[in-house]
Amino acid sequence: MSQTTTLTQPAVPATIEDFMAQAIAMEFEAVERYQELADAMETHNNAEVAALFRKMSVIENKHAEQMLAEMGWSEIPPGTSAQRWEGFESAEVVAMDDIHYLMTPWHALQLALKAEQRAVRFFEALTEAAQSEPVRKAALELLEEEREHVELILGWLKKVPQPDSDWYEDPDPPRYDT
Ligand code: ZN
C-alpha cells in the first residue's frame, strides 16, 4: 500500500504553477489520508482518535483551498503536475501501516506529528533547492504553514495522557473466525 521512500533532495519544479500544483496535490493527499484514518478509527469505535484525525483533515483541506484561491484556480490545472517530486508521496502522509485500532489520541498525534514534521523537512529542502525567487518564496510560506501544524499538534499532545506501555493488550480482542 504505502511505500516508505527516503526524502532526498526533491527535484524542484521550475515554475510557480508547477510548484503550487504539486504542493496542493500533496495537501489534498494529506486530507484524504487523515479522512481514511478517521474512518478507520470510527470503524473501531475509537471516536476520540477519529475526531483528531477529522480535525487534521479539515485543517489541511482549508489550507489546500486557500492555496487554490491564491493561485486563482478552482482546481489543479491539468498538465501542471506531470512530473512528481521525488519523495513527494511520503511527505505529508501518515502511513496506514502505522495504524493500530487500539491507538490512543497520544499515538494518533504522534503519527500526525511525524507526517507534519516530514512536510516541514520537505519544504525546507525545497526552499534551499528552489531555482527561482517566486518558487523559493512560496516554499517558504508553506514551510511556515507546516511549522504551525507541528506547533498545533505539539499543543494537543500536551493535553492528552501518555499511554501505559501495555496499551495494545485488548481485554476483549476482536475475532476473525469464519
Ligand atoms: Zn500540514
**Residue 177 covered by a domain:** no
Q: Report which residue type is found at 157.
A: L
**Residue 10 covered by a domain:** no
**Residue 122 covered by a domain:** yes
Measured CA to CA, the distance from residue 17 to residue 14 in angstroms comes to: 9
Buried b / exposed e along 7-32 (16+ C-beta atoms within 10 A): beebebbeebbbbbbbbbbbbbbbbe
Task: List the domain range (segments joined by +) for residue 137.
Answer: 16-157
User: What pLDDT digit, counting tens, does each position of 143-152 carry?
Assistant: 999 999 999 8
**Residue 115 covered by a domain:** yes
**Residue 113 covered by a domain:** yes
- C-alpha 60 to ligand 1 mean position (Å): 6
- C-alpha 37 to ligand 1 mean position (Å): 15
Query: pTM for the whole thing?
Result: 0.72
User: What pLDDT digit, counting tens, does each position of 89-115 carry?
Assistant: 445 666 666 667 677 888 888 888 988
pLDDT band at 62 (very low <50, low <70, confident <90, very high): very high
- C-alpha 175 to ligand 1 mean position (Å): 36
What domain count does the chain have? 1
- C-alpha 145 to ligand 1 mean position (Å): 7
CATH number at residue 90: 1.20.1260.10
**Residue 175 covered by a domain:** no
pLDDT band at 5 (very low <50, low <70, confident <90, very high): very low
Going by the DSSP 8-state scheme, the letter that residue 101 receives in this structure is: T
**Residue 114 covered by a domain:** yes
- C-alpha 151 to ligand 1 mean position (Å): 10
**Residue 128 covered by a domain:** yes
